A and B are shown apart, each in its own frame.
Chain A
């Protein structure tokens, strides 16, 4: 079980980005997510060392990341949990059945970081971790700076073992 962060605990967007870069990620594939909009996507859009690919629908990210992986290029998919749900079939086929290193950073829209996502009054948030468990996808809750140490090892493991990973962003990074 991973700790659930309190509401006043900070989550540093710049440190998340540093962890992403340290993981060897070159491409960010994204549909905007209000949880990560200002703290992650906006600075990434201005970052000269990451290439941001803005897509129209989240499942495109799964195919693009897979194609990149065949050329040994690393990508991180930055989406909202609604987009994750919309992409389940692509994740099922490409990430799980084909065992591709699909790395997802998923903002939990309207989530109260003071409670566990599994106990959220929001149905859409409440079902995310059980779905990931059922699909056998490793996932990490990122709710405070103390959780940032999970990012680089998680991405490294995904590419080393050719398997998907999901980082669930429990609060808006600042």
Chain B
């Protein structure tokens, strides 16, 4: 079992000009590890992380989009796996941090911790699927996974983290949305 912040530190070494869509606990960890203008943390409703990512990926097929979603969020919109697989954006990499809890809502368990998201993504039709529970394996393969033709799905089997501080006014700051858009449009 891994820790989300450890995984994200390793992931951050491979991130350059991608848009990174991160929400809730993943967003808290990610913006601390990798504060950057191309972080997109305003989702508006739980479960729509990957939908935003799909829209971003369609609008800029020349750029890569990385989604950092939680398991509770994916469960709120499991059909999004089917939608993304059908659209098949080659530039979308979809991570799900699976700690088997609704961490941002009090740490209550998801309905079935035995759920296998990677198998679901594979069955839905994602082009490449990974499932990591070991930090060494993730460290070795994450760079490779990020370069695959998408849509790519990656499960990160992680422990629930220490209590986090959810600074929603900062995560949802309209100025950050405006800065993201300016940077996203400016990227060539």
Contacts and interface: CB of A to CB of B under 8 A. Distances in A.
Contacts, number: 109
B58 A73 contact: yes
Given A64-B54, A65-B55, A67-B53, A59 B47 contact: yes
A143 to B, nearest CB: 31
B79 interface: yes
- Classify chain A: how many residues form its interface, as a range: 20 to 34
A10 interface: no
B182 to A, nearest CB: 10
A72 B180 CA distance: 13
B34 interface: no
- Classify chain B: how many residues form its interface, as a range: 20 to 34
B89 to A, nearest CB: 11
B56 A90 contact: no
Contacts of A97: 44
Given A62-B51, A63-B51, A90 B83 contact: no
> Most chain-B Cβ atoms within 10 A of its Cβ — which of A54, A57, A71, A90?
A71
Interface in A115-149: none
Contacts of B139: none
Contacts of A89: 45
> Most chain-B Cβ atoms within 10 A of its Cβ — which of A64, A66, A68, A71?
A64
Contacts of B107: none
> Most chain-A Cβ atoms within 10 A of its Cβ — which of B43, B48, B82?
B48
A68 B177 contact: no
A66 B52 contact: yes
Contacts of B172: 98
Contacts of A72: 59, 185
B113 to A, nearest CB: 24
A56 interface: yes
B42 A67 contact: no
A64 B185 CA distance: 17
Interface in A92-108: 92-94, 97-99
Given A72-B185, A98-B44, 6 more contacts: A53-B87, A56-B77, A63-B48, A64-B58, A71-B56, A75-B55
27 contacts: A53-B87, A56-B77, A56-B80, A56-B83, A57-B77, A57-B79, A60-B48, A60-B51, A62-B44, A62-B45, A63-B48, A63-B49, A64-B52, A65-B55, A66-B44, A67-B55, A67-B58, A68-B55, A68-B58, A70-B56, A70-B185, A71-B185, A73-B55, A73-B58, A89-B45, A93-B45, A94-B48
